[in-house]
Structure 1
């Protein structure tokens, strides 16, 4: 490790940095938002009738999309937290 960071392995610029704290903020905001939307659309789909608009299939599709986005936000949150923990660890 060089200065708490992993050494460069490719042709990226020396000053290239990831916006880790911004990713942490965005994942922290959108994870509960997408999770709540997934639940909302799922409950709405469960209580909708065949003649309702939007249809049950559309609501289920929206619930699935929100669930996938919530999963992506959760995974990104885990990656960012792991990366921040690794950078804060004292180098030996």
Structure 2
């Protein structure tokens, strides 16, 4: 079964989620994704990894520099995905 493409208006209005019949009485409010916070944290992680690579390369610790590169690539991919989600109109 093919999944239909969602429109920008659907993302702005909010996607359907689990209906909590006690949501207004004592249940938890519907959760929203904190995409902006996630983007800030990914950017901070990316900048920290770049600094880590420079310092570790200067100290001659190649294995540590490679580890920072791997974590930096993960941060870069996450930042790209968050930007993609925000461009298509998801709130957060």
TM-score normalised to structure 2 length? 0.63
Residue 18 of structure 1: how far off its partner (Å): 2.3
Paired with 1:29 and 1:60, the residues of 2 have a C-alpha distance of 22
Q: Deviations over 1:8-56 (max 9, x none)?
A: 6xx7x8x3432211111101111111111112201221xxxxxxxxxxx
Alignment gaps of 5+ in structure 1: 46-58
Paired with 2:11 and 2:55, the residues of 1 have a C-alpha distance of 45
Paired with 2:33 and 2:49, the residues of 1 have a C-alpha distance of 24
Q: Which residue number corresponds to residue 55 of structure 2?
A: 40
Q: Which residue number corresponds to residue 67 of structure 2?
A: 65
Paired with 2:42 and 2:64, the residues of 1 have a C-alpha distance of 19
Q: Which protein has the bigger helix share? A: 1
Q: CA RMSD in A?
A: 2.6
Residue 7 of structure 1: how far off its partner (Å): 5.9
